[in-house]
Amino acid sequence: MSEIGLRERKRQRMFQELSDIAIRLFLERGFDAVPVAEVAAAAEVSKPTLFRYFPAKEDLVLYRIADHEGEAARIVAGADVPPLDALRRHFLDGLRRYDPVTGLNDAPEVLAFHSLLYGTPSLAARVMAYQERSEAALAEVLGGDLDARLAAAQIVAVQRVLALENWRRIAAGERAVALRAEAEAAAERAFGRLEAGLPGLRAVGPALGADRK
């Protein structure tokens, strides 16, 4: 392995270790009760070192879902089917895998993380910013014009509401296995309504506005 490759692997391990240690402390005592200095001490690094990896305290938590930022845009860009077909299929596949990002996962550690994420105002605000960036990336793939931005906003909102509804019901005590069929049906209905409301969403890029020509 090259020196650059080894250095990058070490860097990625440090990101993961710092995030894992921080989340463990935040889950034990609450996000606001744990100072960044304590996270650095637990990880055996200096506070300036920690801030080189994570400029803001909230970033320590958001790192766990960072891979999903721009996911919708990547799916659409790499698909050989219309955008909504690709996104529908991806979301349904996520439900069948009990992917935590769909909200359909009742593992205790996942429920605890979601409670931390949505129950902490500063983290919830950062999640909204994360979703706005995902929306912007999707809009760019769909063509970048006003219609593309409107479509992306609706798609991201539908995915967010579906995931939050699944998480809400599981947090109230329902089991993921028992809820899956309803969650799949709800996703099918939601994407069906998106297709009805976005008839121009037939292909990626400039073809988005083809029906208006």
**Angstrom distances, CA of residue 143 to CA of 17, 57, 71, 84, 165:** 38, 35, 17, 14, 30
The pLDDT tens digits for 65-107 are 888 888 999 999 999 999 999 999 999 999 999 999 999 999 9
**193/196 Cα distance (integer angstroms):** 5
Share of the chain above pLDDT 70, in %: 92
Span 43-61, average pLDDT: 96
Supply the pLDDT for residue 8. 86
Domains and CATH numbers, the chain: 6-59 (1.10.10.60), 68-201 (no CATH)
pLDDT surpassing 70 at residue 120: yes
Which pLDDT belongs to residue 175? 97
pLDDT score for 107? 95
What per-residue confidence (pLDDT) applies to 110?
Answer: 93
What does the block give as tokens for 29?
């005592």
pLDDT at 199: 74
Mean per-residue pLDDT for 170-189? 97
Binned at pLDDT 50, 70 and 90, residue 201 comes out as low
Count CB atoms within 10 A of the CB of residue 17.
14
Of 18, 105, 25, the C-alpha closest to 64 is 18
Query: What whole-number distance in Å separates Cα of residue 135 and Cα of residue 72?
Result: 8
Q: Which residue has the tokens 């909204």?
A: 128
Give the mean model confidence (pLDDT) for residues 177-184. 98
Task: Sort 15 into a burial class: Cβ within 10 Å, 0-12 / 13-18 / 19+.
Answer: middle
The pLDDT tens digits for 126-173 are 988 888 999 999 999 999 999 999 999 999 999 999 999 999 999 999
